[in-house]
Chains A and B, each alone.
Chain A
Amino acid sequence: MKLFTKPKSDEEKLIEGCIAGKREMQRNLYDLYSKKMMAVCLRYAPTNFEAEDIMQEGFIKVFANIQNFKRDCPLEFWVRRIMVNTALKHLRQKSLLTVSHETEEVASISSETYNLTGYSMDELMGMIQSLAPRYQMVFNLYAIEGYNHKEIGEMMGISEGTSKSQYSRARAILQDMLARQDHKFKEHVISK
């Protein structure tokens, strides 16, 4: 019998409450992560509506499977991973990730430095959302989530080379967008 038990953290209480099916605890978990997860879903979904659908489905999965959470990582990471997987499944179901005869051309990463502090969150999100879904997915997984191309290939059901190729193309498109934004900005400054 333990005389002294370690006080449970808020996260632990939250998890146990969700496992017990307490709606109040589920609401607390939602409130805690909903904003971050909405940002995640927006990065993967073509539209805001679909992002909300993904997030709804993702949270349902979280509540249904939270008893399987092994506590080997922060809860936020686990929830985020579920959201990413849900988005991947959602896009796959809509056949938005299929690739047809794409040549595997991998451009070298330029050493050019970027400073995105001048861009708002909406602008950056808009750039990512404007990418084709498969580019969007690969860019998110590689650049932001930190997966490597082999892992991305396994997740998306494509080859590692295709993942690299798609990432290279996505990166090029974003660079072009940023260049055009810079050009507009410079023109705007000069005209003033």
Chain B
Amino acid sequence: MSSANKQERGSLEEQFRSRMQDAEVSPAPDLWSRIDHELTVNESRVYKERFIMYRQLAAACFVLFMLAGALLYYQVGNQATQPVAPAEQQMATNSSSSSSTPATAPVKAAPTPGTFSDQAQTGSAAAGTLAEANTTDRSAAADESTNRLAAATIGAVPAKNRAVAGSAIPVSQPDAGVQKEDLPALAITGGTDQPADAQEQVQLPGSAETEGNRPKEQSVVVRQRLPEEKGLLLPKNIEGLGETQYKTLAAESMLKKDEKQEALQNSLGNSTKKEQAIASAGSNSRWSVGMASGPSYFNQNIGLPEQMMPAVMHNSFAAAGPTADAFSARNMESAREEYDDNTDAAFSYGMEVRAGFRLTKKLKLLSGLGFIQNSARTKTSFIFRQFWFKPTTREPYELVSTIFMPSLTNGFSPDSIAVEQTNPFYVNYQYRQITVPIGLQYEGKIGSRGWHWYASGALAANFLTESKITTTSDKVPDFSYNNNNGEVSPFRKVQFSSNIGAGIGKQITESVSVVVGPEFRSYLSSMLANPDQALAPQGKPYSIGVNLGVQYLLGQEKK
């Protein structure tokens, strides 16, 4: 305090100060109880806000966890498929038979007399096998394959010569009898593994010829192999074979090859690869993500009292109620009947992002995050006008609504109420929820073309984010309850529901499948937060919808 101000202070100020500075006045006895009550309210509000915050945090963490987990598994799956050798990929692009095991190729090749295709299979298999061993030297692999083919043709020589089948036969060798050199490739072609009787059946078309022709036949076989691999071109230079013989040989081999391929395709079908992929799809990946959405029929099941007006018309000393004339009472009854008769489902829908984890071959754990908008509407022609007085200022004000709003709670006590009839208009009820489901899905195959069926059951926590009651009438204002406008919503903030669904699905690609089927969602509690305070018994809402979903299998091995 400045000295100037001090100088201004006179006796009056000092006297007042000395008397008032330490004055004490007892407050009202109930003042502490008021403070205590307000403190309690504030604390509960803080706890509630904290609880909501933790709940939202938990939901966010859960979603993040799910997304991060899905991403991680997706990345890991990709990395697992990336180190595949180029030779292997090259092999995958070869003929479908190249994927067969090397051991089986010669077995098939052996019984077929001089079949080019089988021998070609053997060759390519050998080449592929070598390519696996040494992916950098493709030409060497080709040479080796030639040797394998030569070795494979050992089966074509008579049994006495086949005693040396364990040894490789150089292609250029004119005589099989001098083939003493060991080649490990034989182990691959399995020439020596063939039973003697099976080898006995092996005959080359030219085997009926003289022994002297035999090396040449082998040479023919070998020489024809390479062009055949390149596109079944007939060789221009044919040694030791007459033109007629050669043409016969080539035609037979072509025919048999076509027949075998056709038979193979017929027996396995074009879907074989897809089926194998589908079968393997479930075996090497447990995680999947998907989206689902679909329209639904929603029944909010909010009951209205049958005798509403008598309840509010009573006007006694014990309980003063609002005043209403008989005309309004009749209108109110008509409005209630209208609500019962004209309340229908409007367009409702839901969208969900789901993550799935395969627990067993057929059982899957599903969870995710979704948005639901449940809607219903009523065609009505009655407007309710409630007249209130503000408790503090006693200012009159009017609340215009339909029969729906006053029926939600028995806490209303207008000073008077009037129900007037107008042109028909629609009242729309919209409830927006964030849903977090967790459940199980059981799947089974249907046939062999990638179809499957599913049955699912889930429990979901549905968080009401906004509820709107709108009308198409200009006279009735819209009501909206959300987290921002501070209005105390009569509707339940969190509702649990049990979801049951079933349907069929189709594998589109190795990783993507679509599903469709009905879904039933039954809420475990009523829409109203305080059904006990409502004027009528409240039912539990439900919705019946169609689930349209897409599912992507994470970590699928790339073919």
Interface centre among A63, A112, A125, A146 (most CB of B within 10 A): A146
Q: How far is the CA of A27 from the CA of B21 in the complex (A)?
A: 23
Question: Given the complex, which residues of A lie within 8 Å of B23, measured CB to CB?
Answer: 36, 39, 121, 125
Residue ID in chain B nearest A175 by CB atoms: B12
Q: How far is the CA of A148 from the CA of B42 in the complex (A)?
A: 36
Question: Given the complex, which residues of A lie within 8 Å of B38, measured CB to CB?
Answer: 56, 60
Interface string of A141-184 (1 = CB under 8 A from B): 01110111100000000000000000000010011001000000
Which residues of B (264-278) have their CB < 8 Å from a CB of A? none
Kindly state whether residue B488 has any CB partner on chain A within 8 Å. Answer: no
Interface string of A36-47 (1 = CB under 8 A from B): 101100110000
Given contacts A144-B17, A149-B5, contact A110 B39 (CB under 8 A): no
CB–CB A38/B10 < 8 A = no
Kindly state whether residue A113 has any CB partner on chain B within 8 Å. Answer: yes
CB–CB B24/A38 < 8 A = yes
Interface majority SS (helix, strand, loop, mixed), chain B: helix
CB–CB A111/B10 < 8 A = yes
Which B residues are within 8 Å of any A CB, using their own CB? Answer: 1-2, 5, 8-13, 15-17, 19-28, 31-32, 34-36, 38-39, 42-43
CB–CB A60/B42 < 8 A = yes
CB–CB A35/B27 < 8 A = yes
CB–CB A35/B8 < 8 A = no
Additional pairs, 15, CB under 8 Å, beyond known A34-B31, A52-B27, A109-B9: A30-B32, A30-B35, A34-B27, A60-B38, A64-B42, A109-B10, A113-B11, A114-B11, A114-B15, A116-B15, A124-B20, A142-B5, A143-B9, A144-B16, A146-B1
Number of A interface residues in the complex (CB < 8 A): 43
Interface majority SS (helix, strand, loop, mixed), chain A: helix
Interface centre among B21, B22, B43 (most CB of A within 10 A): B21
Question: Given the complex, which residues of A lie within 8 Å of B22, measured CB to CB?
Answer: 36
Give the Cβ gap from B4 to chain A, nearest Cβ, in Å. 8
Question: Given the complex, which residues of A lie within 8 Å of B21, measured CB to CB?
Answer: 144
Q: How far is the CA of A64 from the CA of B42 in the complex (A)?
A: 9
Q: How far is the CA of A113 from the CA of B13 in the complex (A)?
A: 10
Give the Cβ gap from A34 to chain B, nearest Cβ, in Å. 5
Kindly state whether residue A26 has any CB partner on chain B within 8 Å. Answer: yes
CB–CB A143/B19 < 8 A = no
Question: Given the complex, which residues of A lie within 8 Å of B42, measured CB to CB?
Answer: 60, 64
15 residue pairs of the A-B complex, CB under 8 angstroms, read A36-B23, A42-B25, A56-B31, A59-B35, A60-B38, A112-B11, A114-B10, A114-B15, A124-B20, A142-B5, A144-B17, A144-B21, A148-B5, A149-B5, A178-B12
Question: Given the complex, which residues of B lie within 8 Å of A63, measured CB to CB?
Answer: 39
The contact of B19 among A26, A111, A116, by CB within 8 Å, is: A116
CB–CB B35/A60 < 8 A = yes
Question: Given the complex, which residues of A lie within 8 Å of B32, measured CB to CB?
Answer: 27, 30, 34
Residue ID in chain B nearest A151 by CB atoms: B1
Question: Given the complex, which residues of B lie within 8 Å of A30, measured CB to CB?
Answer: 32, 35
The contact of B31 among A52, A64, A119, by CB within 8 Å, is: A52
Give the Cβ gap from B512 to chain A, nearest Cβ, in Å. 56
CB–CB B24/A35 < 8 A = yes
CB–CB B16/A124 < 8 A = yes
Q: How far is the CA of A119 from the CA of B19 in the complex (A)?
A: 10
Residue ID in chain A nearest B28 by CB atoms: A52
CB–CB B12/A43 < 8 A = no
Which residues of A (1-57) have their CB < 8 Å from a CB of B? 21, 23, 26-27, 30, 34-36, 38-39, 42-43, 52, 55-56
Residue ID in chain A nearest B27 by CB atoms: A38
Q: How far is the CA of A144 from the CA of B22 in the complex (A)?
A: 10
Residue ID in chain A nearest B5 by CB atoms: A148
Residue ID in chain B nearest A60 by CB atoms: B38
Q: How far is the CA of A130 from the CA of B357 in the complex (A)?
A: 77
Kindly state whether residue A93 has any CB partner on chain B within 8 Å. Answer: no
Question: Given the complex, which residues of A lie within 8 Å of B26, measured CB to CB?
Answer: 34-35, 38
Give the Cβ gap from A16 to chain B, nearest Cβ, in Å. 17
Which 6 A-B pairs give the minimum distances between C-beta atoms?
A35-B24, A39-B23, A143-B13, A113-B11, A116-B15, A38-B27
Kindly state whether residue A68 has any CB partner on chain B within 8 Å. Answer: no
Give the Cβ gap from A12 to chain B, nearest Cβ, in Å. 21
Residue ID in chain B nearest A108 by CB atoms: B8
CB–CB A116/B16 < 8 A = yes
CB–CB B36/A23 < 8 A = yes
Give the Cβ gap from A149 to chain B, nearest Cβ, in Å. 7
Question: Given the complex, which residues of A lie within 8 Å of B8, measured CB to CB?
Answer: 109
Q: How far is the CA of A52 from the CA of B27 in the complex (A)?
A: 7
Question: Given the complex, which residues of B lie within 8 Å of A121, measured CB to CB?
Answer: 19, 23, 25
Residue ID in chain B nearest A113 by CB atoms: B11
Q: How far is the CA of A105 from the CA of B190 in the complex (A)?
A: 122
CB–CB A148/B1 < 8 A = yes
CB–CB A110/B10 < 8 A = yes
Given contacts A60-B39, A60-B42, A112-B10, contact A43 B20 (CB under 8 A): yes
